[in-house]
Amino acid sequence: MERKGPVLLGKYELGRLLGQGTFAKVHHARNLETGMSVAIKIVDKERILKVGMMDQIKLEISAMRLVRHPNVVELYEVMASKKKIYFVMEYVKGGELFNKVVKGKLKEDAARRYFQQLISAVDFCHSRGVCHRDLKPENLLLDEYGNLKVTDFGLSALAETKQQDGLLHTTCGTPAYVAPEVINRRGYNGCKSDIWSCGVILYVLLAGYLPFQDLNMMEMYRKIGRGEFKFPNWFAPEVRRLLLKILDPNPSTRISIEKIMEHPWFRKGLDRKPEVVDAEIEEPATLLQTRTPCSYLNAFDIISLSAGFDLSGLFEDKEQKKEVRFTSNKAASTIISKLEDISKTLKMKIKKKDEGLLKIESSKEGRKGTLEIDAEIFEITPFLHLVEVKKCNGDTLEYQR
């Protein structure tokens, strides 16, 4: 391939500058071997060492490796030289969601679609123990098909970074989007504060301006602390009710992501039965696409797993069947939590948990060895999952019980 720019670490041809911060620059680049476009975040190692931010950089890397999801910018690899750290990431060429918002409010259906994708991504992040802590339209990118991608995990926190009280204590984020409990500096639940930021984003998408704004920063913080804001007259009653539950200044009574995903306004457009789409037809829309946080199912997999095409009854007794399947409209994280609770009740242990696959093992030996069960979650859409439970080892009667 013809080279036009400087070559980075003998592998990537560096292109135009996409963005710049205090400690890093982001460039467009292309892989010289494959020709694939990537974004490369170049971090100045000397600067971050001077201000003691190396641990936060390590956290950012860990967080991005944990949250591989269709609506999150993917981290491909991390490289380093003596002076620089390089994040090689998915290149998203549609620009920031912020660029759409500055032109004015979005139509309700468009705002809902972006919000659905945002909640799907944030829910998955939380299920992996990652809190973003800086959610705002500037950190939400849009790809060429209009799909939302969460980016910039520079302020993220992992579950293990909580203090002994189980809370986070670092005050961070963008003032207009930050939750009241973060401002109060008494410790906060990072997942709850992310939900607040999602609510501010939804308001901005529908209104075209911020719910909490004032030229005086302290006055703006006072409004945030009390949850004081007004709805424009074009906000529908359903979305008003949802936003009042999200922008609740009390984190203990603030709505959960699970409840958001069950809300009637949120579910519009998602409750249709999943359709089997011709594999050759490219779907530009969002929620039926590409990579998944669990296992991937294509159209032919879905057909083969449906009851009408299940041929297992010809070969095995229904009473002795070693696997069962069911669908759920709950989030993957909720299904995993439920399976974990059931395992504890049955005094079984989770042996391995890996991207939608749980290996469950009995704590004692059975008639035919230790009972082992695989529970695998397949994503049909971010809001419809197929769960397959099957016996891998042990006595079938014990498994049936």
The answer to whether residues 203 and 131 belong to one domain is yes
Domain match, 77 and 109 both: no
How does residue 353 score in pLDDT terms, banded at 50, 70 and 90?
low
Report yes or no on 25 lying in a domain.
yes
Taking residues 194-217, report their average pLDDT.
96
> What is the CATH classification number for the domain harbouring 52?
3.30.200.20
In a domain, 279, yes or no: no
- Per-residue pLDDT, 234: 97
**Coil, helix or strand for 5?**
coil
CATH number of the domain residue 104 falls in:
1.10.510.10
Question: 205 and 117, same structural domain?
Answer: yes
Check pLDDT > 50 for residue 276. no
Order of strands across the sheet with 37-44?
7-8, 12-20, 24-31, 37-44, 84-90, 75-80
Are 116 and 202 within 8 A, CB to CB? no
Taking the C-alpha atoms of residue 259 and residue 123, their distance in angstroms, rounded to an integer, is: 11
Residue 304's pLDDT band, with cuts at 50, 70 and 90, is: very low
Type of residue found at 100: K
pLDDT of 344 > 50? The answer is yes
Tell whether 155 and 54 lie within a shared domain: no
The β-bridge partners of 372 are 361, 393
State pLDDT tens for residues 111-161.
999 999 999 999 999 999 999 999 999 999 999 999 999 999 999 999 777
Q: Are 107 and 187 contained in the same domain?
A: yes
- My answer on whether 250 and 375 are in the same domain is no
Least confident of 57-71, 167-181, 228-242, 354-368: 354-368
The pLDDT, as a whole number, for residue 278 is 37
Residue 74 in any domain: the answer is yes
The DSSP code sequence of 141-208 is EE-TTS-EEE---TT-EEGGG--TTS-B----S-GGG--HHHHHTS-B-HHHHHHHHHHHHHHHHHHS
Domain identity same for 174 and 318: no
Average confidence score pLDDT of the chain: 84
The one catalytic residue among 55, 109, 123, 134: 134
pLDDT tens for each residue of 28-82: 999 999 999 999 999 999 999 999 999 999 999 999 999 999 999 999 999 999 9
Whole-angstrom distance, CA of residue 390 vs CA of residue 354: 16
User: Domain range for residue 68?
Assistant: 7-90
Which tokens in the block code for residue 390? 């099957």
Residue 152 bears catalytic tag: no
Shared-domain flag, residues 120 and 223? yes
Percent of the chain residues topping a pLDDT of 70: 83
Residue % of the chain over a pLDDT of 90: 57
The answer to whether residue 272 is domain-embedded is: no
What's the chain's Rg over C-alpha atoms? 23
Answer yes or no: do 113 and 219 share one domain.
yes
